[in-house]
Structure 1
C-alpha cells in the first residue's frame, strides 16, 4: 500500500507560505484530532521555525474524548498552546481566537512601544488538505466566504480575511509533504480523507481498516451492521462480504459488490456512524523533537 502524493500546487503552496511568513505574527496549525501526529506535516514545522504557534485539534467531535484529553496534555506539556475545535459547529472557535491574540500580545506590545498602535494580529492557518481550514474560517467570519468541500484540494489560492477588529487571517492551501515513507501514516491520512480516494488502493485500505475495527471495536461493527455474536469472521475478506450482503451491496446473481461495500464502510467511518475514533495515541508513534518541540526563542 505505497502511497505517494505531492502534486504541483503543493510545491507552489509551500513557496507561497515561505514568502508570506514574514508578515505573520502567529501560526495556527490545524490538526485532525483523530490523527494528531499523522496530520502534523513536518514541512510546516520547518517553515514556521520559531514563530509563535497555536495547535488546534479539529474534528474533535469525531475523535474519542479520552484520547483527545491525552493529546491536549501531551502538546501542552511540550509547550504548545493547544485548543480543541469542531469547525463544523463552531465549537472552540472563540477560544482559538483568544489564544491567538494572547500568543501575539508580545509582538503587538512591541509595535505599540514604537508608536504603531491598533494593528490587528496577523495569523496564518496551516494544515494538510481536508483538515477543516475553510470550515473554520467560515465559522470565524460567520459567512461562507472561503470555499469548503468534502475532498482535499479545494482551497488553491491565498486570501486575507478580517475576523472582528483584532485579527486578520491568511488562508493557505493544504500542504502535504513530498514523500510519505511511513505507510501507517499514509493509511491514516487515506482513511480520514486527507488523500484523494482515487490515488490509493482502496481495497487494501478498507481491509486494513476492517481489521482494526474487528480487533478493537467489534461491538460497533455488530451494532452498525446488525451482526450476531457468531457473525464476525476472522477472515477480513469474509467480513467485508458479510457486511456487503447485510447492506444489500449485491450484483445481479447475488454476488457481493465489493466496491460499493467498501464505500459504505469508509463513509460510515468518516461520518461517525461507527462511533468516535482516534487512530493516533501519544505512545504509538515516535515523535521527532525537531518536528514538534518549540524553541524558547521567539522570532517576530
Structure 2
C-alpha cells in the first residue's frame, strides 16, 4: 500500500494554558537579563521549531543589543571598561529520540540561519553530552577572566528538562557528593518560580538560575495553532487532560506515517504482516485486540488503546523511530509516473523526496533550511496579523488600556483642582 499522501486529521481547537506564574516570569525576564551572561535555552529535539518560545525573542534581542552597545563603548572608552559576556546557547534535549542521521544536517542548517546561537544536542542519560555542555560553560568563563563569576539563565518551554539538566551539571562541576537541588517531574509546570542561584562550577565560578517553563500565551488560530498544540501535548509539554486522547493518537498515527510510509514505527505493535494504515479507527481496533483491551462483549476499548499508544510513543516509540535508518522512496510500479513522497525528521521538519532524490548531508541540510525559512516566515506573518494573541487577550488588553486612561483622567482632574 502506498501512503505517499495522507489526509491531515481533524484536530481540536488548542486549549489556553498560561498560568499566572508564566506571565509573571515573562515580565521579570528583561530585568533578569541585565545580570545574565549566558542564556541557556532548552528545546526538544523532537520539536526543534515548535519548542521555540517566540515570547522570549524580543527580550533576548534587546539584551544582545544592549550588551553590544556596552561592548562598543568599552572598546572606545579611555578607561577600557570591561564588557559583559553575552552568549546564547541552544540545547536540543532528548537527542536519543531523533535519528542520528539528521543531527549534523540540522546543526549546519541552524548555524546557517542563526549564526549568533551556539547549538548542541544532548541527552541527559549520556554523561558525555553533559560533560561537553559543562565544559562549554566553564570555557566561556575562562575566556572572560575579567568577569568575577558567570551567571547562566536557563529558559525554555515546559517539560524540556531544565531542572534535570541543572542537577546533572551541578553534579559534574562541583567536587564531592552534591544532593539534588531542584525537584523534577515528568509533568509540565512543576517549577513555578525562579530558583535560588545554583553553583555549577567552583573554579571558575559559574552560577545558574532555573526558571519556570513558559508556554506560548496563545498557540495560534486555525490548523497551524491546532497542530502546534497537539505536538506539544504529545511530548507532555502541555498539562495532561487538556486534550482528548484519541485526537492525540490520530495525529501521532498521521505523523509516523509521514516519517516513514513504508515501515512506520508503530508496525512493531501490530501482528506480523500488518500493513501501514492511515485509518485511526482501524488502527486502534487492531491495537486494542492485540493488547487484549476489550470491553464487555469483546468490543475493543478504543480510548484505552489510544492512551496506551500515546504513552508508548513517549516512553519507547521515540527510540524505535530514532533507531530506524533514513527512509528512501519506495519503488514505483513498472511504467508508472514517478511520484514524490514525504520524508522528515522529528515532527517539525518535512519535505518531499523524489524517487531519485539524494540523501547526502548537504541535500538534507537544504531541505531543513527550507523548513526553517518557512517557520520564520509563518511566525512573522502570524505576528503581523495578531495571530500570537487570542481574542480574549485582545479584549483584556483593551479593557486594561481603558482603565489606565480613566485613571489618568481622574488623576489629571484631581491635580487641576489642587492647582486652582
TM range (shorter): 0.7 to 0.9
SS at match of 1:139: helix
- Map 1:191-210 to 2 at 5 A: 191-210=234-253
> Counterpart in 2 of 1:130?
159
CA shift at 1:219, angstroms? 4.3
Distance in 1 between the 2:107 and 2:255 partners? Answer: 24
Distance in 2 between the 1:8 and 1:91 partners? Answer: 37
CA contact (8 A) 1:29 1:127 kept: yes
Which of residues 121, 127, 130 in structure 2 aligns to 1:93? 130
CA contact (8 A) 2:111 2:119 kept: yes
CA shift at 1:103, angstroms? 4.7
CA contact (8 A) 2:138 2:201 kept: no
Q: Map Cα deviations across residues 121-153 of structure 1 (whole Å, 9 max, x no partner).
A: 101010000001111011112242111111100
CA contact (8 A) 1:28 1:124 kept: yes
TM-score normalised to structure 2 length:
0.63
CA shift at 1:70, angstroms? 2.2
**Residue 92 of structure 2 corresponds to residue 57 of structure 1:** yes
Distance in 2 between the 1:135 and 1:30 partners? Answer: 11
CA shift at 1:184, angstroms? 2.4
Following TM superposition, where does structure 1 have runs of at least 4 consecutive aligned residues deviating by more than 4 angstroms? 101-106, 289-292
Larger Rg: 2
CA shift at 1:101, angstroms? 4.2
CA shift at 1:185, angstroms? 2.0
> Counterpart in 2 of 1:242?
286
Which of residues 262, 268, 277 in structure 1 aligns to 2:306? 262
> Counterpart in 1 of 2:321?
275
SS at match of 1:169: strand
Structure 1 residues not aligned, in runs of 5+:
293-300
Bigger fraction of residues in helix:
2
Point out the more displaced range, 165-174 or 182-191: 182-191
> Counterpart in 2 of 1:140?
169
CA contact (8 A) 2:91 2:122 kept: yes
TM-score normalised to structure 1 length:
0.86
CA contact (8 A) 1:55 1:81 kept: yes
Structure 2 residues not aligned, in runs of 5+:
1-11, 65-85, 172-178, 323-344, 350-367, 381-420
Distance in 2 between the 1:226 and 1:176 partners? Answer: 39
CA shift at 1:287, angstroms? 3.2
Point out the more displaced range, 93-102 or 22-31: 93-102
Q: Map Cα deviations across residues 182-232 of structure 1 (whole Å, 9 max, x no partner).
A: 3222221111111122112322121111122234444422223334235x4
- Map 1:100-249 to 2 at 5 A: 100-103=137-140, 108-109=144-145, 112=146, 119-142=148-171, 143-159=179-195, 160-165=197-202, 166-181=205-220, 182-217=225-260, 218-230=263-275, 232-249=276-293
